[in-house]
């Protein structure tokens, strides 16, 4: 046994010594026929304490619900977030209720984010570009909720080619069209989703019918190389009917939103965004009864209207100090209940008076990055070069010290909504040389 162990050590020690040889002590040049560089970014990126950004590209690794890719189901898996009762599509953050979480869809407040009584959210997986949850610090620009802030943005359309897609899930049928308005200048996106089991219920003449639909659209255009204008719309509705011999009951609810956003980059240290939006929520209940010449019909609605605007500036004053400042305004009108009815030919109209809420604010937010990076991180970048602010966002595998014009040519290649080249950039050969 001892002879066997000695033989193994004799074979392993030279290999270990070779493996531990520092790479910078080897001076050689190697020619490589082809190189494929792949990397997977973290599923969640912690920008700061309590602030989590979700990498939408990695959602394909997340579990599906009834065959549907639902961003809200994934957000419910984040630490400190729960779904509430029966796994519905709400976001309960650190014990707060669902209405204590502000949900912004392309900068527009959403008051009801659920389809199918909470089974699915209104955000189609075919259109979502980014999602971010702020559970700790919430910018004063969005200071109207107690628990958290959730921001969801739709993607832009392809700026190079026209594309079409059709997705068939367990519960819904979704179709998407996108493409360039003007190549490399602007794009369009339109997506529609329909609960197709409703058609099956109608064919079999089922007494109970349920369905939903939603439509999402976005136009984006670069009015200047530093200024981008985008228009986003959304409309969705849920409806349910129950038929009996002499009566029919119906329920429904839905959202309609629109937003106009101007993003500007004034210089390397100053950026701004101006948003004007409108959001509308309505809930309704309708009843009709007919029997032997007697007729009774009634409809009750609950509505919420909101107009608003937000202007935000983000200015970097130094490496550790930046300012966020701006103004917000909103005009809300609530119609708690309004009933229209026809009873034996007599029309009646009654309800509560609407209520108005007008609010506005100026805000200023100081942001400091105390201490910078750790000493070992600074030392590593001082030795090897590079940019530490690219950590957790980009894959860095080298530093160019000659031939930067090639990199600039690659940077001018057109990209899609995910910032990936529309035409593959292939590295045919690579030469690795020790730089002295």
344 vs 256, residue with greater confidence = 256
pLDDT at 19 over 70: no
pLDDT tens-digit map of 21-56: 444 434 455 555 566 655 544 555 545 556 777 766
Of the candidate ranges 24-28, 72-76, 186-190, 256-260, the one whose mean pLDDT is the lowest: 24-28
Confidence of residue 16 (pLDDT cuts 50, 70, 90): very low
User: What's the mean pLDDT when you consider all of the chain?
Assistant: 79
pLDDT tens-digit map of 106-136: 999 999 888 887 788 888 888 888 888 888 7
Of the candidate ranges 24-33, 139-148, 158-167, the one whose mean pLDDT is the lowest: 24-33
pLDDT for 23? 40
Q: What is the value of pTM for the model shown?
A: 0.71
pLDDT for 21? 40
pLDDT tens-digit map of 354-412: 999 999 999 998 877 655 555 666 666 666 666 665 665 566 666 677 777 887 788 77
For domain 44-368, give the fold: Ferric Hydroxamate Uptake Protein; Chain A, domain 1 (2.170.130)
Task: Write out the chain in H/E/C secondary structure.
Answer: CHHHHHHHHHHHHHHHHHHCCCHHHCCCEEEECCCCCCCCCCCEEEEECCEEEECHHHHHHCCCECCECEHHHHHCCCCCEECCHHHCCCCEECCCCHHHEEEEECCEECCCCEEHHHCEECCECCCEEEEEEECCCCCHHHCCCCCEEEEEEECCCCCCCCEEEEEECCCCEEEEEEEEEECCCEEEEEEEEECCHHHHHHHCCCCEEEEEEEEEEEEEEEEECCEEEEEEEEEEEEEEEEECCCEEEEEEEEEEEEEEEEEEEEECCEEEEEEEEEEEEEEEEEEEEEECCEEEEEEEEEEEEEEEEEEEEEEECCCCEEEEEEEEEEEEEEEEEEEEEEECCEEEEEECCCEEEEEEEEEEEEEECCCCCCHHHHHHHHHHCCCHHHCCCCCCCCCCCCCHHHHHHHHCCCECCCCCECCCCCCCCEEEECCC
Would you kindly state where each structural domain of the chain is located, as residue ranges?
Answer: 44-368
pLDDT for 34? 60
pLDDT for 422? 79
Query: Quick one: average pLDDT of 93-102?
Result: 81
99 vs 284, residue with greater confidence = 284
pLDDT tens-digit map of 205-247: 788 889 999 999 999 999 998 999 999 999 999 999 888 878 8
pLDDT for 25? 39
1 vs 235, residue with greater confidence = 235
pLDDT tens-digit map of 291-304: 777 778 889 999 99
pLDDT at 249 over 50: yes
């Amino acid at each position: 046994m001892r002879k066997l162990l000695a033989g193994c050590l004799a074979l392993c020690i030279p290999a270990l010594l070779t493996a531990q040889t520092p790479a910078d002590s080897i001076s050689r040049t190697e020619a490589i026929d082809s190189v494929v560089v792949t990397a997977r970014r973290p599923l969640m990126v912690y920008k700061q304490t309590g602030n989590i950004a979700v990498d939408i590209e990695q959602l394909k690794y997340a579990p599906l619900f009834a065959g549907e890719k639902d961003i809200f189901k994934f957000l419910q898996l984040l630490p400190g977030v729960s779904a509430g009762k029966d796994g519905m599509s709400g976001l309960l953050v650190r014990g707060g209720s669902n209405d204590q979480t502000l949900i912004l869809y392309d900068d527009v407040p959403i008051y009801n984010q659920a389809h199918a009584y909470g089974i699915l959210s209104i955000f189609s997986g075919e259109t979502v570009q980014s999602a971010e949850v702020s559970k700790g610090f919430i910018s004063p620009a969005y200071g109207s909720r107690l628990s958290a802030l959730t921001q969801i943005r739709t993607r832009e359309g392809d700026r190079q080619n026209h594309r079409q897609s059709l997705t068939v899930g367990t519960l819904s049928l979704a179709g998407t069209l996108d493409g360039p308005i003007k190549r490399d200048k602007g794009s369009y996106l339109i997506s529609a989703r329909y609960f197709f089991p409703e058609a099956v219920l109608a064919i079999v003449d089922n007494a109970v019918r349920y369905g939903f639909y939603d439509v999402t659209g976005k136009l984006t255009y670069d009015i200047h190389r530093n200024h981008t204008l985008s228009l986003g719309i959304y409309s969705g509705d849920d409806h349910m009917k129950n038929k009996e011999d002499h009566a029919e009951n119906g329920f429904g609810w839905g959202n309609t939103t629109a937003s106009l956003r101007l993003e500007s980059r004034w210089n390397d240290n100053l950026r701004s965004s101006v948003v004007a939006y409108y959001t509308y929520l309505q809930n309704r209940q309708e009843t009709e009864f007919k029997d032997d010449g007697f007729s009774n019909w009634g409809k009750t609605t609950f509505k919420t209207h909101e107009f608003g605007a937000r202007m935000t500036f983000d200015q970097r004053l130094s490496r550790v100090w930046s300012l966020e400042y701006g103004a917000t305004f909103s005009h809300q009108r609530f119609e708690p209940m309004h009933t229209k009815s026809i009873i034996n030919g007599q029309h009646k109209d009654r309800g509560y008076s609407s209520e108005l809420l007008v609010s506005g604010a100026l805000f200023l937010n100081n942001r400091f990055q105390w201490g910078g990076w750790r000493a070992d991180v600074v030392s590593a970048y001082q030795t090897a070069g590079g940019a530490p602010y690219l950590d957790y966002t980009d894959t860095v595998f080298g530093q160019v010290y000659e031939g930067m014009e090639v990199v600039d040519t690659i940077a001018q290649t057109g990209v899609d909504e995910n910032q990936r080249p529309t035409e593959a950039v292939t590295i045919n050969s690579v030469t690795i040389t020790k730089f002295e």
